[in-house]
Amino acid sequence: MTTTLPHPVTDARDGEDLSVWPASTRVAPHGDLTVGGVSLAELAERFGTPVYLLDEDEVRGRCRAYRQAFPDAEILYAAKAFLCRAMAHWVREEGLGLDVCSRGELELAVTTGFPPEQMVLHGNAKSPDELDAALRLGVGRIVIDSTAEIARIAALVPQGARQKVLLRIAPGIAAGAHPAIRTGTVDQKFGLASTDGSAQHAVARVLEQPRLELVGLHCHLGSQITSVKPYVQAVRRLVGMLSWARQVHGVTLPELDLGGGHGIAYRPGETALDIRALAVRAQAELHSACTTVDLPVPRLTLEPGRAVVGPAGVVLYRVLSVKRTGRHTFVAIDGGMSDNPRPALYGAQYAPRLIGRVGSAELQPVNIVGRHCEAGDVLASGALLPSDIRPGDLLGVPAAGAYQVSMASGYNLVGRPPVVAVTGGTARLLVRRESLADLHHRDIGL
């Protein structure tokens, strides 16, 4: 079996680079594109804009690629990237488990039929309700993020039962595209460091709890990581902790969870994490490090989210206005930071494209801005679009499947967009558009 991720090539008909679009993307007449056999211009007319689409076959293909690259590992889809009932169903059918961070994610998946024993619950500040729900529903493992959680979780476990737990370690590795999404360093809110003895103390505390079963160590280095090197370093350091636990406490922990954070390309020419290289080097390091300390090789777990759903998504916007100043052209769209806060949070950049007509003018750099009352509501700076861009035009933005709808807000009381699945030339609604009635329904006081 090959481990090739779905990946389109330059379209031979007009030389257009579609490398960051879903693999099923094709150039259609009159400047249109199709994804999953569905016209993007027609989809925008049918569902309105903004609208998010997910290529179901791309999602499934990326799940399979992980299973093929890591045949002996456990692969958990990170629900925080994007979760709906269909997404939970797809990843379950493709043999992945689920990594959840809240009661909402947990209960949505369970009510969809996802086996709770195939889930892991994360979070640096889990509420009593979340822990109670996890234990009541039978979640497979809970990741302990602080010493305060140890007694709290143990007290909730029923008499005579044991809950499997992992201990999140901060390995002191700086990785990730932006400081706000680097979670493997020692001076941030996630995990327990071994450098100050916190991790060692937590191991001892967990082992003292008869209702907790420590099954392994966990780490998550950050997000949008495109190099294999930090993961190799993490394996080395966590194996050192596993070896310490056996020497000091006489326990052999059978699991090692490397988290996720696997980076994707948002614009042509950008680098994505090579999961085949990750599989080869991380597993080789794991075997080598364990052999060195005479330790049984633990089962590896990975938690990809963005790398599964990000490249499968496209968002469509309608241009509302074009404003030309002395130095800049501002193209305002009918969405913005309420459906995609990433540019405002991290300075993320995208590669928008005109959809549904062929621009008759040369390309020029423009700033694509959102509709919200914030100067920082900028989707893309210096994006190349035809200079005849005008109100009513349709723009498509690829690599939009992760951390957009899942992080969407109700800012300015603008409803969140719908999500549509495409496959085999058909489109179906997965998540409907949030209406004004939805927003007003929650406001019950005067």
The three-state (H, E, C) secondary structure of 116-129, written as one string: HHHEEECCCCCCHH
Average pLDDT over residues 398-423: 96
Is residue 197 within 8 A of residue 186, CB to CB? The reply is no
Q: What sign results for the dihedral spanned by CA atoms 83, 87, 92, 97?
A: negative
Spell out the residues 6+ positions from residue 411 whose beta carbon is closer than 8 angstroms to its own.
337, 338, 372
Structure tokens at 321: 């206005």
pLDDT at 11: 43
Among 275, 279, 166, 173, residue whose Cα is nearest residue 222: 173
Q: Residue 291 above 70 pLDDT?
A: yes
Among 311, 418, 317, residue whose Cα is nearest residue 369: 317
Beta strand pairing status for 394-398 and 353-355? antiparallel
Residue 273 confidence class, pLDDT cut points 50, 70, 90: very high
Is residue 220 within 8 A of residue 302, CB to CB? The reply is no
Does the reported pTM lie above 0.85?
A: yes
What are the two backbone dihedrals, phi and then psi, of residue 62, each rounded to the nearest 5 degrees? -70, -35
CA 341 to chain centre: 14
Domain spans, the chain: 26-54+311-441, 56-309
Average pLDDT over residues 353-372: 92
pLDDT at 8: 44
> 101 — alpha (psi -120 to 50), left (phi > 0) or beta?
alpha
What are the two backbone dihedrals, phi and then psi, of residue 312, each rounded to the nearest 5 degrees? -85, -5
Q: Rounded CA gap, 213 and 255, in Å? A: 12
Query: Which whole-number Å values give the CA distances from 76 to 175, 293, 303, in the listed order?
Result: 21, 28, 5
Mean pLDDT of the chain: 91
Three-state SS string over 323-336 comes to: EECCCCEEEEECCC
Q: Residue 189 above 50 pLDDT?
A: yes
Q: How many helices (H) and strands (E) does the chain have?
A: 12, 21
pLDDT at 4: 47
Average pLDDT over residues 235-264: 95
DSSP state of 80: G
Q: Rounded CA gap, 320 and 330, in Å? A: 11
More confident residue, 83 or 172: 83
**Percentage of the chain modeled with pLDDT above 70:** 92
Q: Rounded CA gap, 75 and 300, in Å? A: 9
Q: Residue 274 above 70 pLDDT?
A: yes
Average pLDDT over residues 173-177: 56
Q: Rounded CA gap, 20 and 399, in Å? A: 6
pLDDT at 3: 44
The CATH code of domain 56-309 reads 3.20.20.10
pLDDT at 195: 79
Q: Residue 184 above 70 pLDDT?
A: no
- Within 190-327, where are the H helices? 198-207, 229-249, 275-292, 306-309
Selection from 121-125, 412-416, 428-432 with the highest mean pLDDT = 428-432
Domain 26-54+311-441 in CATH 2.160.10.10: no
Q: Can you spell out the DSSP letters for 5-56?
A: PP-----TTT----TTS-TT-EE-GGG-EEETTEEHHHHHHHH-SSEEEEEH
Catalytic residue among 84, 101, 290, 373: 373
Is 373 one of the catalytic residues? Answer: yes
Q: Rounded CA gap, 316 and 44, in Å? A: 7
Beta strand pairing status for 33-35 and 163-170? unpaired
Q: What burial class does residue 14 get, using C-beta atoms within 10 Å of its C-beta: 0-12 exposed, 13-18 middle, 19+ buried?
A: exposed
CA 105 to chain centre: 13
Average pLDDT over residues 76-83: 98
Residue 445 confidence class, pLDDT cut points 50, 70, 90: confident
pLDDT at 185: 47
Average pLDDT over residues 399-423: 96
The secondary structure element, H or E, covering residue 212 is strand 212-218
Residue 196 confidence class, pLDDT cut points 50, 70, 90: confident
Question: In this structure, which long-range contacts are made by residues 126-130, counting pairs with CB atoms below 8 Å and at least 24 apart in sequence?
Answer: 127/103, 128/152, 128/156, 129/103, 130/102, 130/103, 130/106
**Length of the chain, in residues:** 446
Give the model confidence (pLDDT) of 16-25 as tens digits: 789 999 999 9
